[in-house]
A and B are shown apart, each in its own frame.
Chain A
């Protein structure tokens, strides 16, 4: 697992941000004068959030709605995400669009590992969230969040293209809330967070391991008190 050396990277050190010397009204006044005043953090998250390039990767029914979202009527290009990259090396966003079977799960996780940071994951549809209508199936993974960290969950079977766009906007808001330093910094700017996830293998009955404990813990069992 890749760990960043804190001495190499000043970003990861605790830096107390200086108090804002310029008020919002003064910034507006400067903007009227043709001077744009911003901070590195704002510039970074603004650029990051408006060019989230998804991976050209469809799994099942939801992939058709994902394609529909990129077509003329819904036009995902309005949000800066129309560039579907065929290679994970060039993509920022993994949209898990459909049922992940146990045969497919290792490849999905390998794709996630091949994507460079900063990277985000959207679990699109009931199947990617929990297995959905096929949850009882012997070959269906009960949610991709067992293996990779998921940023946004979009419910639906399949979600409408508008729902995908809404999820994308939520992701953009999440990115815009990122801090460059401190404990609120995102995964790729911190030392204590893993970048890669271990790829499971076929076991005798299930994937081995059946979940990644770093990103997923089993929810507490609901016991009825009689």
Chain B
């Protein structure tokens, strides 16, 4: 950094406006040379090919500039060149940890566009799969976050052990572990068998035991509390004005869950609570996810108990030569990372005229600099981990 750049940046510097016990004040009189560090795109803790250009004063972050686009795979442009159904496999690859909820959000948008009804059994199966995806995503996130905190290996091993059980269910239902491509416009592709439902029931029954074990290991751990409490605070006002959704928003104490607000699908029939945080720090974001998993198990139990008989696909649904009439639709659901939405503009042709994705982790990432200012560079790693990003969705 040249001397003039340094002077210009130093004059912009002020005490970071975020609060919290661990935030360090930057004293102008002690300024040394500022150091620019480029973290990523190849860095083990950036959760993919994300790059942060961090300006450091000693070890304290005074400026953070994210650089995107290292995984820009042209999802939206490709979505305009393939048919409506042809985009379904591409949605799997957006947020590749939770393909089932991406499928659902996209199917919901097309169903709104075409005025397509969904049978009740399919709605229940969608809820079951969405909650399994939430369990999978939150478990993996907790594992990765602990990896970022420095407990290398063990929590992630436990998380991936449980992930395999859920993936076994996905594979036996859809034929693929990660890229399920399971939802269709007007229902689901295959009907889950009685064996599959028994397997899902078993998983729902014993997942609470795993969470107990996981929490015994982590939640009260003194090192994790010291590392995460008061770090990366996000105020509810900033979260709302930046459009942050999902567990990130609820950790700041804002009661906003699309499952309650939009009441899409058959969610109003289930009894569950929306856990809320107090402080909006990394620890709250971790706790919110653990509590959400417990609520997900409750929803799973209710959905499996109340699963009605009937067709899995609407018999009137048209799969071949599907051409919705001209118009537009926006379908959104509460994905594990926040509001995942698809905006579709149809001109009556087999392809969408415009295909736009609202990716939750990209929008949640916009407040990264505000959360990181005044923290050390080691804290930036866990703050990024707590945002829960997947680069397939951020860069699209």
> B392 interface residue, CB < 8 Å from A?
yes
* Chain A neighbourhood of B97, CB < 8 A: 64
> A50 interface residue, CB < 8 Å from B?
no
> B74 interface residue, CB < 8 Å from A?
yes
> B20 interface residue, CB < 8 Å from A?
no
> A60 interface residue, CB < 8 Å from B?
yes
Contact residues, B156-173 vs A (CB, 8 A): 156-157, 160-161, 163-164
> A81 interface residue, CB < 8 Å from B?
no
Chain B: how many interface residues by the 8 Å CB criterion?
30
* Chain A neighbourhood of B93, CB < 8 A: 60-61, 133
| Binary interface encoding of chain A residues 71-112 relative to chain B, with 1 for a CB under 8 A from any of its CBs, else 0 | 111000000000000100000000000110101100100010
Q: Find the A residue at minimum CB distance from B90.
A: A133
Contact residues, B19-70 vs A (CB, 8 A): 41-42, 44, 48-49, 69-70
> A210 interface residue, CB < 8 Å from B?
no
What separation, in Å, do the CA atoms of A73 and B69 have in the docked complex?
A: 33
User: Is A61 touching B392 in the complex (CB atoms < 8 A)?
Assistant: yes
**Contact residue among A58, A61, A73, A98 (Cβ-Cβ distance under 8 Å from B164):** A73
* Chain B neighbourhood of A65, CB < 8 A: 177-178
Q: Shortest CB–CB separation between residue A158 and chain B, in angstroms?
A: 6
> A136 interface residue, CB < 8 Å from B?
yes
| Binary interface encoding of chain B residues 132-170 relative to chain A, with 1 for a CB under 8 A from any of its CBs, else 0 | 000000000000000000000000110011011000000
Q: Find the B residue at minimum CB distance from A85.
A: B44
> A121 interface residue, CB < 8 Å from B?
no
User: Is B44 touching A68 in the complex (CB atoms < 8 A)?
Assistant: no
User: Is B42 touching A73 in the complex (CB atoms < 8 A)?
Assistant: no
User: Is B81 touching A136 in the complex (CB atoms < 8 A)?
Assistant: yes
> B260 interface residue, CB < 8 Å from A?
no
What separation, in Å, do the CA atoms of A138 and B69 have in the docked complex?
A: 13
What separation, in Å, do the CA atoms of A60 and B164 have in the docked complex?
A: 19
What separation, in Å, do the CA atoms of A61 and B49 have in the docked complex?
A: 11
Q: Find the A residue at minimum CB distance from B46.
A: A58
Given A56-B44, A157-B179, decide whether A68 and B74 contact each other with a Cβ distance below 8 A. no
What separation, in Å, do the CA atoms of A220 and B272 have in the docked complex?
A: 61
User: Is A59 touching B48 in the complex (CB atoms < 8 A)?
Assistant: yes
Q: Shortest CB–CB separation between residue A113 and chain B, in angstroms?
A: 13
**Contact residue among A107, A133, A139, A160 (Cβ-Cβ distance under 8 Å from B42):** A107
Closest 10 A/B residue pairs (Cβ) = A137-B74, A71-B160, A61-B96, A134-B73, A104-B70, A73-B164, A56-B44, A86-B44, A139-B72, A72-B157
Which residues does A use to contact B, with CB under 8 Å? 56-61, 63-65, 67-68, 71-73, 86, 98-99, 101, 103-104, 107, 111, 133-134, 136-140, 157-158, 160
CB pairs A–B below 8 angstroms (22 shown): A60-B48, A60-B391, A61-B96, A64-B97, A64-B178, A67-B156, A68-B163, A71-B157, A72-B157, A72-B161, A86-B44, A99-B71, A101-B69, A101-B72, A103-B69, A103-B72, A104-B71, A111-B42, A133-B93, A136-B78, A137-B77, A139-B72
